[in-house]
Structure 1
Amino acid sequence: CQAYEKVVDYPVLRFPLEIYVSDKTTSTVVVMFDEPAKELLKCSADSLAADDESGFGYTNHAGLPLALANIIGTTHTLEMKSHTYYEHGTFESFSCRRIALEEVVEVDSESRNMNTSAE
């Protein structure tokens, strides 16, 4: 097939970033791609893939790039998409659609769902 033989001169690096998220009640793993990951880390996939000359450098924190080490212990509001897999709903995965910036998060008094609204 010709499509598979095509040479890609400039591959597009994408973030398949998995992060461990927790609060006082529970914890889960969330997957972020591209734009939400760029918003959270404040850098692109190209920057993380580049060598130490990129200016991001590496920290002593488990050998992580500084962009990753800097988000450990921080708090963010994430807009999530949930997927239930398998017939009996035994596995659920979450992907982050966006990072909610400067938003007020309040609990809906009737449904116990979280609502976000811009200030």
Structure 2
Amino acid sequence: MRKRSLLGAAWDWFKVEHSSRLLAKHRLIKRLDYEKFTAAPKPALNTVLGAEYRDLVDSIAWVNETTVRPSAEYHSLQGNPDRYDKGLIRISFREPILDGFSWTQRYAIKTTGMLLDSIYP
């Protein structure tokens, strides 16, 4: 699968963030912290979604604490390495791969990440 350019990936995320902000003016938006989710998926979902969605979280086909069995209708997002894999899904933290980026691009990526962390605590 073709990798997106840094600018293309950043533009896609900008569009998602902008759309989320617009939608949040009319609907409740909840954010899920990646590190908390990958450390403990089910508790993180329950914390963010609250008691009213506990049955939904429990209805996921959990194999164990960090693995789920996808339904027959499963479809992953564009760019995910597992997009065409129909096996079990293991939820785990993945370090970003910055190989191939110049030092200025790596600096820009890390700086942008720090700024976003300050906006979305």
| TM-score using structure 1 length | 0.22
Structure number having the greater helix percentage: 2
**Which structure has the highest strand share of the two?**
1
TM-score (norm 2): 0.22
Structure number, greater radius of gyration:
1
